[in-house]
A = this chain, B = another copy of it.
Amino acid sequence: MDDLQRAIEKRKSTDPEFAENFDKGYEEFKIGVLLKEARKSAGFTPEALAEKLNTKKSAISRIENHADDIRLSTLYNYAEALGKKIKVTIQ
């Protein structure tokens, strides 16, 4: 079971509403997990990334766990600090 699967199961067990709606297509949630995985694979702790972004690790944690209510520009900054790019498409 990979990180994404684990995170989903964990959230399902602690958030009944999420569990109920997951199969209906709540995609937003996954973004935070993608961000977190990108950060880890780039070898950053939340604190290290926070420093690069001139903020604090608590803010990083908030981004990764509530990625549906963040600003697009915040998303861009986060990705840029990892040397990655955010791609937004509409389909």
Contact residues of A with B, CB < 8 Å? 25, 27-28, 31, 34-35, 38, 67-73, 75-76, 79, 82, 84-91
Contact = CB atoms under 8 A, between A and B. Distances in A.
Given A28-B76, A31-B72, A89 B87 contact: yes
A34 B91 CA distance: 10
A30 to B, nearest CB: 9
A32 B54 CA distance: 28
Contacts of A90: 34-35, 38, 79, 82, 84-87
Closest 8 CB pairs of A and B: A87-B89, A69-B73, A84-B90, A38-B90, A31-B88, A88-B88, A34-B90, A79-B90
